[in-house]
Amino acid sequence: MRGSVLHLTPDNLQTIPVDSLGITLEHFLEAQPPASTHFMGGIHKFLNLEDYLLFFDVRDSGKLQHISFNTDKYVSVVTNQGCRKVTAEEYVRYMNAYNPDIFASIADLITDKNPSLKRVKKSVDRTLNWLDETLEQIKEGIHVFGVVTGHDKHEERVRSAQETANRNVAGFVLNGFDLDITSKERLDLMKISLNHLPKNKPRVAYGLGAPEYVLLGIFEGIDIFDTSYPSEQTSLGHALTFLLLENGIKNEQEKFIDLWDNKYRTDFRPILNGCKCYACQNHTRAYIFHLLAAHEMLATVLLMRH
């Protein structure tokens, strides 16, 4: 459901120690302009999320689909009514109406697996041009985070980071870590971008979802992570059970248990011994197995709360 946390009802969300949420424009773009931009109270009041810091972006980083190419004038986004084109001018107009706390500038993100250097350079140029346009038009009081691109081309990641850092942005969004690459290659890309960004402004990373990658990002200096990992695991019926030690995660095989597995039918232990969450304090693995088998919505609510 748009403007809500997947698998959680509003009353459940209020019991969880979360003070910021990510919102994506493409969830509201069934029409242009979105009907919600006409609501006078802004996006916080429209979504009844007045107690939360809201971070806006154009596209859902957790479900970035390959769609028609972007151009110098617009990016393409996927909505429940099909593909839509969004220009930088339109995006800024929507943000001025929504009045979020923070938003990421519009960016030419590449979904091709092996783009040419020419394509990556064009992506960086477009993203920087749109950032300049955004900074000129955004109203005072809304913080703009510049998007650092460059895909897997080292020289372009450096150029993107340096040029974005030269702009009057409040922070940075780093992309490209969800590529099909090794852990070392992912670390190298992260360092290349971070080495050219100031440390006194927050850095957000997309594509570092798994726990081991989040730990890696923290060690390297990433401040905020936008990840769909918890909701994806919940949708699969997985309960996270990994333990964090000083040197990382205890065991790769212990990151989660699959509560669809029939062996949990009569397992009356909590999901994770010692966990203080509502699900572990009040319910068992066997009960959640039953809920999943019966296709009860409460199953995913409990798993997400855990």
pLDDT at 249: 58
Determine phi and psi for 278, rounding to 5 degrees.
-60, -40
Q: Residue 67 — very low, low, confident or very high, per pLDDT cuts 50/70/90?
A: low
- CATH superfamily of the domain spanning 10-227: Queuine tRNA-ribosyltransferase-like (3.20.20.105)
For residue range 129-146, what is the model confidence (pLDDT) as tens digits? 999 999 999 999 999 999
Report domain extents, the chain: 10-227, 235-305
Residue with tokens 């999320």: 49
* Residue range 229-254: mean pLDDT, rounded: 77
pLDDT at 55: 93
Residue with tokens 């966990």: 275
User: How far is the C-alpha of 201 from the C-alpha of 5, rounded, in Å?
Assistant: 27
- Give the long-range contacts of residues 8-14, CB within 8 A, separation 24 or more: 8/301, 8/304, 8/305, 9/301, 10/48, 12/301, 12/304, 12/305
More confident residue, 22 or 258: 258
- Give the long-range contacts of residues 280-286, CB within 8 A, separation 24 or more: 280/306, 285/239, 285/257, 285/259
Cβ-contact 104, 58 below 8 angstroms:
yes
For residue range 251-285, what is the model confidence (pLDDT) as tens digits? 555 789 999 999 999 999 999 988 899 999 999 99
pTM comes to 0.87
Cβ-contact 52, 102 below 8 angstroms:
no
Tokens of 15: 């019991």
User: How far is the C-alpha of 292 from the C-alpha of 261, rounded, in Å?
Assistant: 10
At 227, which amino acid appears? T
User: How far is the C-alpha of 146 from the C-alpha of 151, rounded, in Å?
Assistant: 15
